[in-house]
Amino acid sequence: MNLDTISSQDIILTGDRTTGQLHLGHYVGSLRNRVILQERCAQFLLLADAQALTDNMGNYLKVRDNVLQVALDYLAVGIDPAKSTIFIQSLVPELTELASYYLNLVTVARLERNPTIKDEIKQRGYERDIPAGFLTYPAAQAADITAFKATIVPVGDDQIPMIEQTNEIVRRFNASVDQPVLVETRAVVPEVGSRLPGIDGKAKMSKSLGNTITLSASPDDIRQAVKMMYTDPTHLRVADPGQVEGNVVFTYLDAFHPDRELVQGLKDHYRRGGLGDTVIKKHLEDCLQEMLAPIRARREHYAQDPSAVLEMLKTGTRRARDVAARTLSEVKAAMGLNYY
């Protein structure tokens, strides 16, 4: 990711579906960047409970409960509510209203071609029985982004199709009202490791695959996860040369270990042979324990006072709602829907 291209004039909007606690994949893909970017520009962080419901209506309590959990994850990694506006999507009805107009600017065929939607439909086995709200959530996401006139969206690479679709809507809207009311946006994706593999070596760390390390993982969870971690299945004896590419332990060392030289040395040694999995795993475990201990401690600290967290969300939501309401009235005025 090239942070240098982001200036204090930029406005950032990003968020997460509240379907579960956040994990190391989120940390690498976007949380780390948000902690840095909040120092530089205005940042809005959305707890996307309404989007989570598009495929979780049968699980609304899980979605509700995870609003607090994701907020705790944000605070735990160092997102500061004095610098970032954290808010609850369902409490900003202006977003839904905006989305309802945007739906007139996208076709069903285009939504069905959105690569992320396509993947998710396959994963969920919907075939043709797709909840309409699910199919159309890219329009809702366009509303989330444009309501804040966000110029930057720091996300993992799976969200790039959403940004492209948002910009199509922006251009179409501006063209149809012949005024530059909405602002185009840009995805900011970390260059390496924007998609952290699961501990099992599968392409993506994901709760549904059960291959995650959550930000609240206990020391024992971390130990177990590293122990089970996929390495090089052909590296049978310590003396054998081992593969570094596709070896999850090395992928994680690259993503998290602060000492690049040490990691390079381990890689060379592993490739030559004579370095066992237990040794590289020990380095990784130590590094993850050290990194996650303060995150877990902060999370526990905030978790002791949920009403203070809700109060923080209330303040953020009020602020976010003001901004979204302003954009909505500009949008409506541009369409002549300002009757009196």
Measured between alpha carbons, how far is 286 from 99 in angstroms, rounded to an integer?
46
Number of residues that bind ligand TRP (CB under 6 A): 14
By CB under 6 A, the residues from 206 to 225 that bind ligand TRP are: none
Which residues lie closer than 8 Å to 226 by C-beta, 6 or more apart? 199, 249, 281, 284, 285, 288
Q: How far is CA 24 from CA 7, 73, 193, 261, in A?
A: 27, 11, 11, 23
User: Cβ-count burial of 183 within 10 angstroms (0-12 exposed, 13-18 middle, 19+ buried)?
Assistant: middle
Q: Is 34 in the site for ligand TRP (CB under 6 A)?
A: no
Q: Is 51 in the site for ligand TRP (CB under 6 A)?
A: yes
Q: Is 43 in the site for ligand TRP (CB under 6 A)?
A: no
CB 84, CB 45: distance < 8 Å: yes
Strand order in the sheet with 186-188: 84-88, 42-48, 11-17, 152-154, 186-188
Instruction: Please choose, from the candidates 70, 88, 85, 87, the residue with its C-alpha nearest in 3D space to the C-alpha of residue 31.
Output: 70
Nearer to ligand TRP by Cβ, of 86 and 145: the residue is: 145
Place of tokens 């090089």: 232
Secondary structure letter of residue 255 according to DSSP: H
Binding part of the chain for ligand TRP, among 45-53, 66-74, 101-109, 290-298 by CB under 6 A, reads 45-53
Can you say whether residue 149 is alpha, beta or left, with left for phi > 0 and alpha for psi between -120 and 50 degrees? Answer: left
Nearer to ligand TRP by Cβ, of 92 and 217: the residue is: 92
> Using CB under 6 A as the criterion, what x/- string covers residues 154-193 for binding ligand TRP?
-x---x----------------------------------
Q: Is 16 in the site for ligand TRP (CB under 6 A)?
A: yes
Tokens of 276: 């066992």
Find the shortest distance in angstroms from Cβ 36 to ligand TRP. 17
Q: Is 14 in the site for ligand TRP (CB under 6 A)?
A: yes
Q: Which residue is nearest to ligand TRP (CB)?
A: 48
Q: Which member of 22, 46, 67, 309 binds ligand TRP (CB under 6 A)? A: 46
- For residue 231, give the 3-state DSSP assignment: coil
Nearer to ligand TRP by Cβ, of 24 and 46: the residue is: 46
Helix axes 277-303, 219-228, angle to 10 degrees: 150
By CB under 6 A, the residues from 131 to 150 that bind ligand TRP are: 141, 144-145
Q: Which member of 45, 63, 70, 153 binds ligand TRP (CB under 6 A)? A: 153
Q: Which member of 22, 48, 70, 324 binds ligand TRP (CB under 6 A)? A: 48
Give the torsion sign (CA, 256, 261, 264, 268): negative
| Separation of first and last alpha carbons in the chain | 47
Nearer to ligand TRP by Cβ, of 69 and 159: the residue is: 159
Binding part of the chain for ligand TRP, among 13-21, 35-43, 204-212, 302-310 by CB under 6 A, reads 13-21
Q: Is 205 in the site for ligand TRP (CB under 6 A)?
A: no
Q: Is 194 in the site for ligand TRP (CB under 6 A)?
A: no
Find the shortest distance in angstroms from Cβ 54 to ligand TRP. 10
Residues that bind ligand TRP (CB under 6 A): 13-17, 46, 48, 51, 141, 144-145, 153, 155, 159
